[in-house]
Amino acid sequence: MKLLLCLILILVLLVLFAVWPGKRRDALRAPFLGRNFAHRGYFGKDQRPPENSLPAFAAAAKNGYGIELDVQFTSDHRLVVFHDDTLDRMTPAKGFVHDMPWAEFSAQPLAGSEEHPPLFADMLRTVAEANPATPLIVEIKSRSEYKQTYLEELCRATISELKSYPGPYCIESFDPRVVGIVRRQAPGILRGQLSDSYRSYHKDGTGTVPAFAFSHLLGNFLGRPDFIAWCPDERNWAVRLCARLGAMMVMWTALPEHDTAKLEADNDAVIFQWYAPKNQYK
């Protein structure tokens, strides 16, 4: 019995070690608290202007919203703003973004419009010109097959570009390896762990064990995130634990059909899409 109790205690301690978030840093949090962040810019269901386009980012900044966006590399390692892993949904082209060179990628029309996917540097310049105080949540896109050296370069490029931006910014990722790299490369930047529910991971084909690990934040020991970005589903015990331990809570992605007032009441920041909330709710 004693041995069993010791094993249970060790298991509990290991889980706590894995899930524990970073130390609370109030000064870094302040620009993001009580803010609504336009998901991929401020755009409508008709994709006019298209998501992740310069006009969508300018519209979000001019309307006083924060902005959430996604960055990744083209095949020639140009840092671009684009959400999907593939070009299929938003452009006439097919295949992975990371397999297409910048010259070809930049020529693709977004959602049948005259807009094209921008460089991260151009996005930052556009937002700074529209409203230099706009807070940014930058998601670094990753895939399981990406090697550590590739992710190191991707994080380094993102951090380097952000140094020229005059407003507040933070970095997040679904990949705990990325959050860990940001922690090492730029410990002074607010960082966040994105997560989804076990049900969603499993539905997308993620195996049982990794789906549980990702949804229950068992990679937090790598990055010790300042905030947890969680989906509309009910928080599991790991997410609730992080909130109790002082992690900032960010909600993604609020839609018009959700109880948006409750989401604002329950979270420190909200990433929204397809409606026009207040700029700041706290």
Active site residues: 39, 83
- CB 137, CB 192: distance < 8 Å: yes
- CB 67, CB 132: distance < 8 Å: no
Q: Which amino acid is at 129?
A: E
Count of CB atoms within 10 A of residue 150's CB? 15
